[in-house]
Amino acid sequence: MESTIKILEALEKDARLTPEQIADQTGVKLSEVKKVIKKAEKDGTIVKYKTVINWSKLGEEQVWAIVEVKVSPQRNVGFGAIAERIYNYSQARAVYLASGTFDFAILVAGKTMQEVAIFVSDKLAPMDTVQGTVTHFILKKYKEDGVILEEEGEPKRLGVIA
C-alpha cells in the first residue's frame, strides 16, 4: 500500500512521468509501478491525467467564478441529485458539497463575466431546490493544482510617504 501511495503521489505531481522515472524516484520496482498504474486506471483510482495551462500567457482570457449555492435537499435523494443536475452543465468545472452557510461551492468558467452571470441567473438560480446564490469572480490566479502560475518577485507598488 505504501508503494502504491508513493507512485500515485508522483503521478499526481507530474502526470508526464514515465513508469521508469517513477521507479527511479520512488525506489519501487518498474514492474510494480506498471502494475499499480494499470490497476489504478482500471478501477477508477486514476480518474484523469491533467495539464495545467496558464491561459493568460497566451492572451486567452477566461473568466472564473466560485458560486456558493444554498439549496433545499430533496427527500430520499439528498444532495446527490442536485449535484448531478449542476455538474452536468459544461460551465460547472467543479462541484463540491461544503459545510457552512452554503451547501455547494461551484467553480464556473466562461469566456466573459456576462456568460458566467447568465449561467448563474438562467440555469442555476431558477432550479426549484436552489434558495440562493453568491458569485465570487476570480480576479487573478496565483496557484492552481499545486503549481505556482506566476512568481511575484519584488512588489510593484510604490511605498506611501507620510
- Start-to-end CA distance of the chain, whole Å, equals 60
Do 85 and 125 belong together in one domain?
yes
69 within domain boundaries: yes
Q: What pTM, to 2 d.p., does this model score?
A: 0.77
SS3 at position 64: strand
30 within domain boundaries: yes
Domain that holds residue 37: 2-42
pLDDT the model gives residue 97 = 97
Do 19 and 84 belong together in one domain?
no
What is the tally of structural domains in the chain? 2
CATH value at residue 106: 3.30.70.920
User: pLDDT, tens digit, for every residue of 89-120?
Assistant: 999 999 999 999 999 999 999 999 999 999 99
User: pLDDT, tens digit, for every residue of 28-63?
Assistant: 999 999 999 999 999 999 999 988 888 778 887 889
